[in-house]
Amino acid sequence: MSISCITPPYILTRLLDSDNVDIRQSALSTLLTTAQLRGERNVRGLIAGALATPADGRRSIFDCDHSTFLPLARLVRSEDDATVPDASVNQAFDGFGTTRTFYREVFQRNSIDDRGMRLLGYVHRGIQYNNAFWDGQQMVFGDGDGQVFTDFTGSTDVIAHELTHGVTEHTANLEYHFQSGALNESMSDVFGSMAKQWKLGQTADQADWLIGPEIFTPHIDADALRSMKAPGTAFDNKLFGKDPQPDHMDRFANLPDTDEGDNGGVHINSGIPNKAFYLVAVGIGGKSWDAPGHIWYESLKASTPTTQFQDFAETTFRKADQLYGAREQQAVKEAWAEVGIRVSG
């Protein structure tokens, strides 16, 4: 499993050109430490003993106290503990709880692995770390630099996005590059957005369909990291340019499978299946986690590590018929067609 980060590398790379030396330094430090994590995989396995027994998704939040060495982090809140003075700890704890309950009540899934996997969170990682990531065993949060990014624990859909990487790992295990990697990222956006909508009790037409609107500081001119409703419109500013996400296969970005190329554009091309899910949700109407969510969830479970956009579209078309009927299947077919993918059915 790759280290899966919420902040796309293309945003951090653009910040290296900022006139502000502090913004440049924070972006460089984040890029370097994230690359180190991907190379060393030294985070995983250090506390594997804590994961040995199923625990019904029990939550444990640790404070890194700005260190990057996780085994030194202090346990500051466990499942049955009351709130603590640290807002980041409480937000991570509550976000884990929302995601866990969402998966249990909507999809009858017992935590990330469906076997009660403990939910481990680490807050205050490093100094001005502009990211949050899932590494296959735990979720780690940076505080942001305070100028572009703020505390990454403050967004429910960001937390659910990252934990969904774990769900994907324990189901289809989609390879994290090119189209399968973009599907991997899209699954996290889809289920992250559904978890937020479920928490707020919103219907598909009431939701904002934005990913991470809370993680930018107030003076940054950006709506969010991504828009599922309108990929390519989440931001357009001098600091990190224009949102590069396509909303149609005609604009698919062919990028190299490198860190600089975003592993073949996994955070970029995810806009295409994201838009398809949005269209299915508003096409069917009502709550996104009802028919649309179950179609996507069953299709994720039926996918393989190398599933491509076309494969996944065909699977959703079949699942719509198996689970529901002609109306839902037609909505799926029309949604994929609108993003340039025609299902054979």
**pLDDT tens, position by position, 169-183:** 999 999 999 999 999
Residue 345 belongs to a domain: no
**Residues comprising the chain, all counted:** 345
Residue 217 belongs to a domain: yes
Which of the listed residues 148, 169, 190 is the one where a domain comes to its end? 169
How much is the pLDDT for 3? 79
Give percent above pLDDT 70 in the chain: 94
What is the domain range of residue 203?
Answer: 178-338
Low-confidence ranges of the chain (pLDDT < 50): 1, 41-52
Residue 344 belongs to a domain: no
Query: Residues 112-140, buried b or exposed e (16+ Cβ, 10 A)?
Result: bbbeebbbbbbbbbbebbbbbbbbbbbbb
**Residues annotated catalytic, as ranges:** 162, 267
183 and 62, same domain (yes or no): no
Which of the listed residues 105, 140, 169 is the one where a domain comes to its end? 169
67 and 48, same domain (yes or no): yes
Alpha-carbon distances, residue 40 vs 3, 135, 174, 259, 275 (angstroms): 10, 12, 21, 14, 34
253 and 162, same domain (yes or no): no
Residue 128 belongs to a domain: yes
95 and 140, same domain (yes or no): yes
CA atoms within 13 A on the CB side of 13: 8
Residue 96 belongs to a domain: yes
Q: How many domains does the chain contain in total?
A: 2
Where residue 235 sits, what CATH number does that domain have? 1.10.390.10
195 and 118, same domain (yes or no): no
Pairing of strands 119-123, 74-78: unpaired
230 and 119, same domain (yes or no): no
Which of the listed residues 151, 169, 187 is the one where a domain comes to its end? 169
Q: In this structure, are residues 126 and 64 in contact, taking their beta carbons and an 8 Å threshold?
A: yes
Residue 184 belongs to a domain: yes
Q: From CA 251, how far away is CA 295, in angstroms rounded?
A: 26
Residue 191 belongs to a domain: yes
143 and 256, same domain (yes or no): no
Residue 343 belongs to a domain: no
242 and 225, same domain (yes or no): yes
128 and 266, same domain (yes or no): no
Where residue 16 sits, what CATH number does that domain have? 3.10.170.10
148 and 192, same domain (yes or no): no
219 and 126, same domain (yes or no): no
DSSP annotation of 83 = P
71 and 219, same domain (yes or no): no
Q: In this structure, are residues 271 and 188 in contact, taking their beta carbons and an 8 Å threshold?
A: no
